[in-house]
Structure 1
Amino acid sequence: MSIRQGLLALLADQPMYGAQLRSEFEARTGGTWPLNVGQVYQTLTRLERDGLVVELGDDDEGRTTYGLSDAGRAEVDRWWAEPVDRETTPRNELAIKLALAVTVPGVDVARIVQAQRTATMRQLRDLTRLKASTTGEPDRTQLAWLLVVENLIFGAESEVRWLDHVEARVARAARAVHQASRPPASPGSSLHDVDRTVVHESAQR
């Protein structure tokens, strides 16, 4: 998720100062994507430059408060209305790692898959426990946090299934390569094998 869009969405709720924006962002996303104050103020500077955010003055403690301009509010409305763009595929380090691993000689792909599955299963267990720790009817902030946690749970479950698929595909490809590299049996050796089988069966009788 873009920090830019996230801050605009928070300012659509109410005017805030930088540290407050950071705190609200982390609270509503369960701290999954932590921000530092520097990132927040850097983004606010760009948003102000682009005419989407305006300074509303200082509060009683001297902290500069920011709000949306008309253009900023229109930008937030557009963001709510449009689906998230999936045409630009984000880089997935695990997918890149395994894609490269199967092309580099000497890499134990099965070991990589096994180690990643163990780590992902551990994360899935921790996330499930975290979700189970929530009791009662959640308020708006808790609901937002739960949705993020559940997204991570679904993602971890999907990754485990994909790793199982990778393991099976790699094993199948290895068997195919092994079979293709075996020299074909000559006609003579085939007959010899048949004769040995006949003799062995006759001896058993």
Structure 2
Amino acid sequence: MSVRQSLLAILEQGPCYGYQLRTEFERRTGGTWPLNVGQIYNTLERLERDGLVVRGAANDQGHVYWEISDAGRAEAREWLGSAVDRGQAARDELSIKLALAATLPGVDVTALIAAQREATERRLAELRRTREDDGEPATPQTIAAALLIDAQIFAAEAELGWLAHSERRLAAHPDHALALDLATERPRRGRPARALA
């Protein structure tokens, strides 16, 4: 998620102060990913440094309003008009954990998959209840929140499919057939051994 571009997109509607930006972000995303006010102010300062926002004077209540610049407006529009590159996503802890577990001797990969499946099924049931319990009239806020819940539901369903696929793939190999011993050849990079005097 890009906090930087999200703040710029909100500022396109008009000047805001930091806490107001936080409230607007949460209002538009259903509070799915709450932002820390400190994170917002740090981001605003970087945006100012980069010429994408301009800091205004403080009002009577001490709120400093930030206004988007033409360059910031162009960046926000470019972000909103472009596809998200999912190929550069952060490392996925679950897939790395499963790959490592499959190659380590003595790890019960079947139990790991079962535990993850159970946790994902609980999360999926919770998300579906949240979606069903909604019952609120359709407003821009409720529709935005529903879109984010739906995305999490689809991701949980995909994770369950991937876990089932992984379980079938691993079942084709006898226990510990994938276990890797530590390599005997040492990597060339690293600290050189000290010469004995």
Return the alpha-carbon distance in structure 2 between the equivalents of residues 67 and 142 of structure 1: 27
1:26, distance to aligned residue in structure 2 (A): 1.8
Query: Equivalent residue of 1:16, what SS?
Result: coil
Deviations, residues 47-102 of structure 1 (Å, cap 9, x unaligned): 00000011232233110011100000011111112111233132100000001000
Equivalent position of 2:192 in the other structure: none
1:136, distance to aligned residue in structure 2 (A): 4.7
Equivalent position of 2:34 in the other structure: 34
Equivalent position of 1:166 in the other structure: 166
Return the alpha-carbon distance in structure 2 between the equivalents of residues 96 and 127 of structure 1: 25
Q: Which aligned pairs between 1:58-77 and structure 2 lie closer than 5 A? A: 58-77=58-77
Equivalent position of 2:112 in the other structure: 112
1:27, distance to aligned residue in structure 2 (A): 2.2
Higher relative contact order (CA 8 A, sep 6+): 2
Equivalent position of 1:201 in the other structure: none
1:142, distance to aligned residue in structure 2 (A): 1.3
Deviations, residues 131-150 of structure 1 (Å, cap 9, x unaligned): 11222542111111110010
Return the alpha-carbon distance in structure 2 between the equivalents of residues 7 and 40 of structure 1: 8
Structure with the higher helix share, 1 or 2: 1
Equivalent position of 1:203 in the other structure: none
Matched-pair identity in %:
51
RMSD: 1.6
> Do residues 147 (structure 1) and 121 (structure 2) align?
no
Does the 8 A contact of 2:103 with 2:176 survive in 1? no
Number of residues paired by the alignment? 177
Gaps of 5+ in 2: 178-197
Return the alpha-carbon distance in structure 2 between the equivalents of residues 60 and 155 of structure 1: 46
TM-score of the pair, normalised by structure 2: 0.85
Query: Equivalent residue of 1:105, what SS?
Result: coil
Equivalent position of 1:182 in the other structure: none
1:22, distance to aligned residue in structure 2 (A): 1.1
Aligned partner of 2:71: which letter?
Answer: A
Q: Which aligned pairs between 1:61-140 and structure 2 lie closer than 5 A? A: 61-140=61-140
Return the alpha-carbon distance in structure 2 between the equivalents of residues 82 and 15 of structure 1: 24
Q: Please identify the structure whose Cα radius of gyration is greater.
A: 1
Gaps of 5+ in 1: 178-205
1:9, distance to aligned residue in structure 2 (A): 1.0
Moved more, 127-136 or 146-155: 127-136
Return the alpha-carbon distance in structure 1 between the equivalents of residues 23 and 136 of structure 2: 24
Return the alpha-carbon distance in structure 2 between the equivalents of residues 47 and 66 of structure 1: 10
Query: Equivalent residue of 1:146, what SS?
Result: helix
Aligned partner of 2:23: which letter?
Answer: S
